[in-house]
Amino acid sequence: MMDKTINLIKEKDLIVPYILFSKYNELKLSEEELMLIIYLINDQEQVFNPQKIGIFFKKSTVKILEMINELITKDLIKIEIKIENKVHIEYISLEGLYKKLAFLVVNEKKQEKINENIYDNFEKEMGRPLSPIEFELINGWQTSKISDELILLALKEAVYNGAVSIRYIDRILFDWSKKGIKSKADVQREKKKFQEKKQKLDVFDYDWLNDDKKNKNN
């Protein structure tokens, strides 16, 4: 793999989008496929020539065709046929790759914005800036795959109960996790269940005998 990278660097100055290097795992690309994508990005002709690619990577044409087919399956490239001077020529289109990279960038920015909103909400409700430990705890919730929606619902619950502290919210989230609560709909179902249970208990606790005496006296 190192030899291939060196060959690419020696060949000419490379154009390599940083997002491709940082996100190629999310595109489910192997290292070999990554090198092939970099080669295709820097191939100015964009003519589909598996023999030429095979010579560069010192691989058989069959192997190159397998790799190209895999990239097509992943919707990263397409082979397009154009007619030039009455001759059919196959070109490689990288539009699929660029669209997926753009999607990753947009989603990353959206996530950053959501995270900022979460911190803003906490600081607003607590009436002060978050401490480094509190930042770490909120990050810990997110990395443990607790949704941002659920975190904000736990904050809302703490505000409602007049106990806005990170530790209290942590206990709420821990309790919800034990009960399998993962969304707003789950929280609402649990609250409804609690209210129904509370109403039943109120009925059982009612002083029926005294109530009957009161009715007779009236």
CATH code reported for the domain at 108-206: 1.10.10.630
Q: Specify the range with the lowest mean pLDDT, choosing from 6-15, 46-55, 70-79, 154-163.
A: 6-15
Q: Quick check: 202 pLDDT over 60?
A: no
Classify domain 2-93 by CATH architecture: Orthogonal Bundle (1.10)
Provide the percentage of residues in the chain whose pLDDT is more than 70: 79
Q: Cα separation of 113 and 100, whole Å?
A: 20
pLDDT at 142: 80
pLDDT at 213: 47
Q: Quick check: 67 pLDDT over 90?
A: yes
Q: Quick check: 2 pLDDT over 80?
A: no
What is the pLDDT of the chain when averaged over all its residues? 81
Q: List the domain boundaries for the chain.
A: 2-93, 108-206
For residue 213, give both structure tokens: 């005496």
Q: Quick check: 3 pLDDT over 50?
A: yes
pLDDT at 212: 47
- Please, which pLDDT band fits residue 208 given cuts at 50, 70 and 90? very low
- Please, which pLDDT band fits residue 129 given cuts at 50, 70 and 90? confident
pLDDT digits 0-9 by tens, 103-113: 877 766 655 55
Rg, C-alpha atoms of the chain: 30
pLDDT at 146: 84
Tell me the average pLDDT across 137-157.
85
Q: Quick check: 126 pLDDT over 80?
A: yes
Q: Cα separation of 79 and 72, whole Å?
A: 8
Q: Cα separation of 214 and 49, whole Å?
A: 97
pLDDT at 116: 63
pLDDT at 112: 56
For residue 74, give both structure tokens: 């992943």
pLDDT at 1: 56
How would you write the chain as a 3-class SS string? CHHHHHHHHHHCCCCCCHHHHHHCCCCCCCHHHHHHHHHHHHCCCCECCHHHHHHHHCCCHHHHHHHHHHHHHCCCCEEEEEEECCEEEEEEECHHHHHHHHHHHHHHHHHHHHHHHHHHHHHHHHCCCCCHHHHHHHHHHHHCCCCHHHHHHHHHHHHHCCCCCHHHHHHHHHHHHHCCCCCHHHHHHHHHHHHHHHHHHHHHHCCHHHHHHHHHHC
pLDDT at 62: 95
Q: Quick check: 119 pLDDT over 50?
A: yes
